[in-house]
Structure 1
Amino acid sequence: MNVWDDVVGQPDAVALLQRAAAHPEAMTHAWLLTGPPGSGRSVAARAFAAALQCTGDPDGGAPGTGCGRCPACTTTLAGTHPDLTVVATEKVVIAIDEVRDLITAAARTPSVGRYRVIVVEDADRMAERTTNVLLKAIEEPPSHTVWVLCAPSVQDVLPTIRSRCRGVVLRVPPARDVADLLVRRDAVDADVALQAARAAQSHVGLARRLARDPEARARRAEVLDVARRIRGVPDAVLAAAELVDVAKAEAAAATVERDAAEKAELLRALGVGEGDTLPPKLRSQLRQLEDDQKRRATRRQRDVLDRAMVDLLSLYRDVLVVQLGADVELVNHEQSGAVEALARDSTPQQTVRRMDAVGLARERLEGNVAPLLALEAMTVALRPQG
């Protein structure tokens, strides 16, 4: 066992990061890990951070190998190492004040570790002004500091930032590798693991959720059923509203308990009891918390909707595979009947137009178009033509 075990299907990237962590002369103090969703950017970044802090296997392994057994490795992977800072925003963007705090942390000398490691898992979610604040810290970091930025592609990061970072490109791992990980790490049935890995298109986190949560599999099946149910404009409008309602409900379910706990913790810290009137001077702190929670819920809702559209794209991809007679595996094996029916009832040109409509809806959501409007336009375009 070592820290790299969960970095699935990335042998070249792992070899490069291992070499840098084990050999200080090969180190660079700013890294940019890029790869599509599901490629394991965050997992690779945390494994790299653990290897950088690794003090060596208690049985005699060298420092920097990422042994996975020393206290430095285990605390880094758990996110509790004192010289590790991780930013993984649950809001739409990373705030400029958060970046300023990172710069302050990066300037500190490590307290116990080999390096002070700053991991920014969502570097693409920084506005240009925020990124510019980060520029000098990355350009001239202290010798003991390592920045590890993650983004879907190099184009998602400003040229001034990416030109100062050493790039590592990750790829989407094979579905069977992801399934093997689920079997080994989570004791999931092999058939269920492979089905989940294919449905998640090798996204490890999503595959794990699908494999372990029957309700998540049922929700995905309902999303895919939208393609079959839309026969006209009224069906399309209803389907769009249903998708938005499901996303809102899932976002609320994922955040309501956490929101309540955060509010209770803040009130305790402010010395205010349950049901007490909050003094005017303290109301701004509560309002700030509520604003952050709203942003987190918005991000969650967008993520749920985007995932639903990715699932729809996978279905139409399978339809196109059948229509063209391509000799490749279907993503949605369990939906093969619906795939074949859609393939019979449409042409390859119609399928491509439908995929374009889904892609356009994703772009509109990213551009802050109202979700219901974006999805209504999409679902209307999905109805049978002629």
Structure 2
Amino acid sequence: MLIEEEVKKVDVLVIGAGLIGCAVAYGLSRSGFRVALVDKHEIGSGASSANFGRIQIQDSEPGEMLDLIMRSASMFPSLVRDLGIDVEYERSPALLVAESDAEWDALREMQEIKRRQGLDVRFVNKNELYALEPYLDLRHVAGATLSPDEARLNPLLYTRALARRSREMGALILENSPVIGFDVSQGRLRGAHISRGGMDIEIRCGAAVICAGAWSMSIGAMVGLEIPVKFVIGEALVTEPVPRLIWNYFSLASFFETAHSGERAVSACCVQTEAGNLLLGEASQVKTGRELPALESLKGGNLHFAVTAVSRDMSRFFPVMGRTSVIRMWRTFAPFTDDYRPVLGASGKVEGLFVCSGFKSTVVVTPVVGELVRDLITKGQRSIPSGITHQPLNL
């Protein structure tokens, strides 16, 4: 299968068609760049197809990152309108729960800093928690904070809508077309090679952006680039539809630290869909290594730990959930960095090669990430606030 001659050269090649890659392609296309978006598999086939679609705000760290997250979250209404299809975007308040008095003291201190920065976050005592979540077992809770302005959407519909709108604005989208190498001359990126239909095809480009999530490390290695993005295998459950049991998104204040602790762990979080299904998470295990197993490997393996551990942990907070039945589950490779900040910057090895990967919360940054990458390409690293990038940025 050949690519037409006029589209073999583009301004920017975006590698990875998940949430971040599709958002970057969308943002760059809106800014007038001629974009090619390529992926080894299909659009949204990695972690972007296996998440709760949360637009999370209150778990962001204070400072420049929180400013960015609040600005990005405010852009969703106009972005969703521009996409032109229903991605099930809706308001969905979130509770961040502390289990111990010490954890509650630390959470209040941190959230007070964010309140002074402009975040609408409210402290909730046990009496107020009962009114918000009547099925929550308060014996395991010391306190919580409520973020009323958070939202959610359908990540599958959203990822494909971003890709579709990018294509309408002129982007070339190539699925099942893995990058197999880069063309570098005198330290400058000239293009990349993809495998498509059994053919080695070169796409000439002025710049390329690695947005491949957990696969970023292996792509960077093609040019000797060490990208400090690790990954966990995350597992979550979906129950049968049940009457309303939970009214807010529920997660523990220790969620991210537990999920990336290095051991098999459970970090409790839950939300109920409009259809009544409970989405329960998450079991996780940190993995190391440059090469990820094939996506197909996620379909096998022993799922007993995830089913039993997640169900047991969530039933501790919501005993009534113990009577629900799990109807399916998912597993995925989810990227992260040690300081929970993304790797967002230019390669020091290859001029014209950039990295945008490893975001702590992915959906919430999608409206603004295209602007960030546009400025990174046109204005350089100094356009990116140092407080939002992984430190040190050893590219």
TM-score, normalised with respect to structure 2: 0.24
* The structure with more strand, counted as a fraction of residues: 2
* The structure with more helix, counted as a fraction of residues: 1
State the structure with bigger RCO (CA 8 A, min sep 6), 1 or 2: 2
